[in-house]
């Protein structure tokens, strides 16, 4: 479908949906925009704190990116702004280079957003969007679950009022938290616990209660989803009235009022070199999560998203964030789902959200002075818990050990070595497991199924075979990693059946044969010949046959050695099937 | 076959062949042992110089390792001693850590041999020998060819008498050599050129001349293969009589006389850390080349070699080299072929070779004082040129672009970035290409071939199809990297045939389905259902079906949706084929 669109609307999807925009769309967009704004205001500040940045940086990152993505993005309901995993990566990565409260820290985060955006645009223009396919689903789930555990644990110190350094790997984090437990501040804990309780009640129980009163699902959303905003307001009022900040409750403090500052990120070769590995990881992960969310939402409405255009759109949004004093952004899962279910039809919803945030930074920031950090931590905590997905692990493990292992390696890699190392180790591990599997191909000795033309495994079916011909089906493409193993198993099979004169390779499972495998096949043919066994082929697929023809293998072996089907070969051999 | 042997002979193959050793074997072993010794004496010194080490270190590395491999190795004709590629790696690797003439250089090389041996033994005990399969044949050929170019070019300075630093990447090497060309020493060039001419004549032309005189092939070997020794003797006499060393000809100089020194390699944590990456590469590459040679020779005599025992044997030989003042060794190709064709039947041949080298270091080293380095360089030069294999590149390119590309990436990687980086980039590239190919599966719409039960591609064969059923054969296992692409192509195919009611997936080419692919299949089934198209499966292989049963997919989809063959499905559907 993408191919038919004129070039301009391919680069500017807003022209596509803008042309068909209707009044009915606006109702949905307006509701969704307002609801997402109420969710995003506390979230943006919370994620900024998670990233080690001042809260207003999160708000700044929630304005320009939303406008930009609305213009360039193909995912209509995607809500692009600060996200949990990415904030965590920023904290771990930049925290390793600069001290958290140093002026350099913010400047590095802004440059990072610029680099991430640049890389994403380049990847999009080079059409590298398909690369995300190489991260297996189990690795993504393992990564998300592991990062969620780290983030959730990291919030404990805010929820309990502990003073410990932030950490991005499990062992120091657990050790520091446990050691500091005796210093728990009762009031902070009460605030944090209260917020968590409210958030929990506001979710399923409140929803069920509303349902019982006959409130329709669509009408529930504004009520249910404004619980975080309610908590922000309630807890701020509570802290301000009782002056709980004087009792040791950590508050957000003063947030500068006014529009996001126009920023020129500092770019030096030195800086780029330092930040590049982090920027690469972040550009990849940020895109991956955004694309997965956008795609899953779009498919529910039969719309389509285009990977490379998404890369460009998110890249531009990141650059937009950097030049307006924000940090790196991505399409968050939970926020986008809210946007979608609250009725967002187009990017107009995101523009409305951004408009509300503009009003917030212009007029409302003084109101956040007494906002306790524990409330923000509670919002992160409850949002992030949902990402710990052990149900998937159980299912994966049951179906396919390899997928389960990849999940666990990623999960424990993230916990033990950090988010960045974890995803690379996990992705590499999943690919290695796949290669490992293909390097040990399954082969089956086959025979004819009754009077049909079908040949199946002699160990699974009652089939007919003959003594002079051994028919073996190879269940894998032949390539360098499995060609030696295969040669050995075939020679072994021939040794096990000393009476055979012909070896028929049934190639229905062979989808490709590379150069190394071709050389091995030639050696195998000669070795078999010296034992008095002739090699035949059947069910060779078109593309494979083309290659064998081209290199002269078919000619060398003899064209009469190739049969269309095993049935045809057996008929030709005229052998007694029994 | 390996499995039947008693454990002790599995670990000590000498017990196996020793029991059946006959007088007739000794004739072959003696001839081969002496011929290889005459070849190895100049080679060992030459390769030591190539590695940046004193010549006697090469001789020391040609004693203990040969005895040890004869006891533990499964490749009976393999000649284990200093080798060209490995010497080059030592020069590049240790040259980057220590100055070539510093005392530390030798000590590092000895420690390296110990580490390489230790790693190989560990790999063997962990049964990691199969890992070599993951380096594709085209990468190995590209690597060998690239390293050969670098080594050959590096010999030019010795052949021409130029004074330039050694380099392991092409650009500085070429630049330095060309810049120094005006300083060419005429006498050195004459010696080097003469040696090369003699070596060239001694090869094919001499062999042909002998053949014409009626000399049998087996009798030619001692004559042809002693040409290098002849060159050593001739050029030494020439330099000594004319005192050409006073005319600027570089000579080997004094070599200490006596048995190899018992050495205790210096091992510190710091040293191990520095040398580990190099040791890993070297242990892998050394084993890879040794195993390839041993296997190819053994298969010509219907003997077998066992990868993990080979790792242990070569590892022990490396350790033996390290504790007797030698450096890392491997089974060299050309030398082993000479050993084999000269009639070596068992490890006794290598023991005889080692015995000759012992006599050499005891009594003959003073004779090498006037040996010109140009002669040694000529021997390396001619030996290494044979490894540049562009014929294979042409053939690979013709058959399979991917293999040709992998060759070239490795080749130019080695030239431009060095041997170590080159092989890693090449190996990674070959694997990436394989993954890339499997990520874009070939799918074919199939129809029935006349009155048979065979279903083949409608674009290649005259087949019968029906309007309500679309039968698609997927030519690849389904896994995370291709599942999204596949989903899109299937949906596209369904869109192209709007009249269909049933989609039949012919799974004969699907050898596995992972967790991600299973999830996608489920989504696809629901998506198709919403378009009014039902999904069916045929030709699902046993192991794949087992997995689908286990996770409950078969139950969920309906057992009646699975058919043994496409023919059976079509019969059941009762559709009009035309």
CA–CA gap between residue B35 and residue B44 (Å, rounded):
14
Task: Give the per-residue pLDDT at A5.
Answer: 57
Asked if residue A358 has pLDDT above 70, the reply is yes
Task: Give the per-residue pLDDT at B161.
Answer: 92
Cα four-point dihedral sign B339, B345, B347, B349: negative
Residue A166's SS3 state is coil
Task: Give the per-residue pLDDT at A41.
Answer: 93
CB contacts of B509 in chain A (<8 Å) are 508-509, 511, 541
The average pLDDT across B453-473 equals 91
Task: Give the per-residue pLDDT at B1.
Answer: 38
The average pLDDT across B317-344 equals 91
Asked if residue A3 has pLDDT above 50, the reply is no
CA–CA gap between residue B158 and residue B154 (Å, rounded):
8
Binary contact (A400, B515; C-beta < 8 A): yes
First to last CA, chain B: 54
Task: Give the per-residue pLDDT at B6.
Answer: 66
Asked if residue A279 has pLDDT above 90, the reply is yes
The average pLDDT across A559-577 equals 89
Of A138, A435, A527, the CB nearest to B134: A435
Task: Give the per-residue pLDDT at A4.
Answer: 53
Q: Residues of A numbered 61-120 whose beta carbons fall under 8 angstroms of chain B's beta carbons: which are they?
A: none
Nearest-CA distance from B560 to chain A in Å? 19
The average pLDDT across A538-557 equals 90
**CB pairs < 8 Å spanning A and B:** 171
Neighbours of A260 (CB within 10 A): 21
Lowest mean pLDDT among A214-228, A491-505, B147-161, B432-446: A214-228
Among B291, B300, B472, B475, most A C-beta atoms within 10 A, so best to mutate, is B475
Of A107, A127, A440, A119, which is closest to residue A261 (Cα–Cα)?
A: A107
| DSSP structure class, residue A74 | S
Q: Which residue of A has its CA nearest to B431?
A: A435
Asked if residue A236 has pLDDT above 60, the reply is yes
Asked if residue B3 has pLDDT above 50, the reply is no
Cα four-point dihedral sign B416, B418, B424, B427: positive
Q: Residues of A numbered 407-436 whose beta carbons fall under 8 angstroms of chain B's beta carbons: which are they?
A: 430-431, 434-435
Read off the pLDDT of residues B87-112 as tens digits, 9 standing for 90 and up.
989 998 998 889 887 889 999 999 99
Q: What is the mean pLDDT of chain B?
A: 90
Read off the pLDDT of residues A367-385 as tens digits, 9 standing for 90 and up.
999 999 999 999 889 888 8
CA–CA gap between residue A179 and residue A164 (Å, rounded):
9
The average pLDDT across B378-384 equals 88
Nearest-CA distance from A147 to chain B in Å? 21
CA–CA gap between residue B396 and residue B138 (Å, rounded):
8
B296 close contact with A: CB closer than 8 A: no
CB contacts of A396 in chain B (<8 Å) are 515
Asked if residue B182 has pLDDT above 90, the reply is yes
Binary contact (A564, B449; C-beta < 8 A): yes
CA–CA gap between residue A89 and residue A498 (Å, rounded):
62
Indicate the pLDDT class of residue A566, thresholds 50, 70 and 90.
very high
Read off the pLDDT of residues B282-305 as tens digits, 9 standing for 90 and up.
999 899 888 888 887 887 777 778
pTM for the whole thing?
0.84
Among B139, B398, B448, B479, most A C-beta atoms within 10 A, so best to mutate, is B479
**Whether A478 contacts A521, CB under 8 Å:** yes
B538 close contact with A: CB closer than 8 A: no
Asked if residue A1 has pLDDT above 60, the reply is no
The average pLDDT across A279-285 equals 93
- Give me the residue label for tokens 């070039």: A7
Q: Measured over all CA atoms, what is the biggest interatomic distance in chain B, rounded to whole angstroms?
A: 98
HEC-encoded secondary structure of A87-107:
HHHHHHHHHCCCCCCCHHHHH
Task: Give the per-residue pLDDT at A401.
Answer: 84
- Give me the residue label for tokens 């290098």: B228
Lowest mean pLDDT among A218-222, B79-83, B132-136, B517-521: A218-222
Task: Give, for A442, the enclosing helix (H) or strand (E).
Answer: strand A442-448
**Whether B33 contacts B353, CB under 8 Å:** yes
Phi, psi dihedral angles at A399 (to 5 degrees): -80, -45
For A458-479, b/e burial (b = at least 16 CB within 10 A) is eeebebebbeebbbbbbbbbbb
Neighbours of A20 (CB within 10 A): 8
B437 close contact with A: CB closer than 8 A: yes
Task: Give the per-residue pLDDT at B2.
Answer: 42
Read off the pLDDT of residues B537-553 as tens digits, 9 standing for 90 and up.
999 998 899 989 988 89
Task: Give the per-residue pLDDT at B7.
Answer: 72
Asked if residue B416 has pLDDT above 50, the reply is yes
Asked if residue A519 has pLDDT above 60, the reply is yes
Phi, psi dihedral angles at B532 (to 5 degrees): 80, 25
CA–CA gap between residue A159 and residue A190 (Å, rounded):
9
Asked if residue B79 has pLDDT above 60, the reply is yes
CB contacts of B481 in chain A (<8 Å) are 133-134, 136, 434
């Amino acid at each position: 479908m993408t191919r038919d669109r004129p070039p301009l609307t391919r680069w500017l999807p807003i022209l596509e949906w803008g042309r068909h925009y209707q009044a009915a769309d606006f109702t949905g967009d307006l509701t969704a925009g307002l609801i997402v704004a109420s969710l995003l205001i506390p979230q943006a500040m919370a994620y900024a704190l998670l990233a080690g940045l001042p809260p207003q940086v999160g708000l700044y990152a929630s304005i320009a990116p939303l406008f930009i993505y609305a213009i360039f993005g193909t995912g209509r309901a995607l809500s692009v702004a600060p996200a949990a995993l990415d904030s965590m990566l920023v904290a771990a990565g930049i925290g390793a280079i600069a001290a958290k409260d140093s002026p350099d820290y913010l400047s590095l985060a802004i440059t990072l957003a610029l680099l991430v955006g640049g890389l994403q645009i380049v990847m999009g223009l080079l059409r590298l969007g398909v690369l995300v396919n190489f991260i297996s689903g189990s690795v993504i789930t393992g990564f998300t679950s592991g990062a969620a555990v780290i983030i959730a644990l990291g919030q404990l110190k805010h929820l309990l009022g502990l003073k410990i350094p932030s950490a991005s790997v499990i062992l120091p984090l657990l050790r520091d938290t446990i050691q500091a437990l005796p210093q728990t501040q009762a009031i902070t804990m009460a605030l944090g616990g209260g917020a968590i309780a409210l958030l929990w009640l506001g979710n399923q129980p409140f929803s069920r209660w509303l349902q019982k009163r006959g409130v329709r699902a669509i009408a529930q959303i504004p009520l249910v989803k404004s619980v975080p905003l309610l908590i922000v307001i309630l807890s701020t009022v509570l802290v301000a009235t009782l002056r709980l900040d004087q009792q040791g409750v950590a508050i957000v403090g003063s947030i500068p009022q006014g529009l996001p500052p126009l920023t020129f990120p500092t770019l030096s070769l030195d800086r780029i070199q330092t930040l590049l590995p982090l920027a690469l990881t972040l550009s990849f992960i940020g895109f991956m999560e955004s694309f997965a969310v956008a795609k899953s939402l779009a498919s529910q409405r039969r719309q389509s998203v285009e990977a490379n255009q998404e890369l460009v759109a998110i890249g531009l949004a990141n650059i937009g964030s950097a030049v307006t004093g924000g940090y790196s952004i991505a399409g968050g899962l939970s926020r986008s789902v809210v946007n979608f279910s609250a009725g967002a039809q187009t990017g107009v919803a995101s523009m409305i959200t951004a408009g509300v945030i503009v009003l917030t930074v212009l007029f409302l920031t003084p109101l956040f002075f007494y906002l306790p950090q524990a409330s923000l931590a509670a919002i992160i905590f409850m949002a992030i818990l949902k990402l710990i997905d052990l149900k998937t692990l159980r299912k994966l493990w049951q179906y396919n050990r390899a997928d389960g292992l990849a999940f666990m390696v990623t999960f424990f890699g993230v916990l033990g070595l950090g988010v960045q190392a974890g995803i690379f180790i996990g992705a590499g591990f999943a690919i290695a497991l796949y290669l490992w599997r293909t390097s040990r191909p399954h082969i089956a000795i086959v025979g004819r199924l009754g009077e049909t033309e079908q040949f199946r495994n002699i160990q699974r079916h009652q089939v007919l075979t003959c003594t002079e011909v051994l028919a073996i089906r190879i269940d894998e493409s032949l390539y360098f990693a499995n060609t030696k193993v295969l040669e050995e198993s075939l020679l072994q099979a021939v040794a096990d059946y000393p009476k055979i004169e012909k070896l028929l390779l049934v190639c229905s499972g062979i989808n490709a044969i590379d150069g190394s495998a071709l050389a091995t096949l030639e050696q195998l043919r000669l070795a078999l010949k010296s034992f008095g066994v002739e090699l035949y082929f059947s069910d060779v697929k078109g593309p494979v046959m083309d290659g064998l023809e081209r290199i002269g293998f078919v000619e060398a072996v003899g064209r009469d050695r190739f049969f269309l089907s095993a049935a045809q070969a057996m008929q030709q051999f005229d052998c007694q099937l029994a």
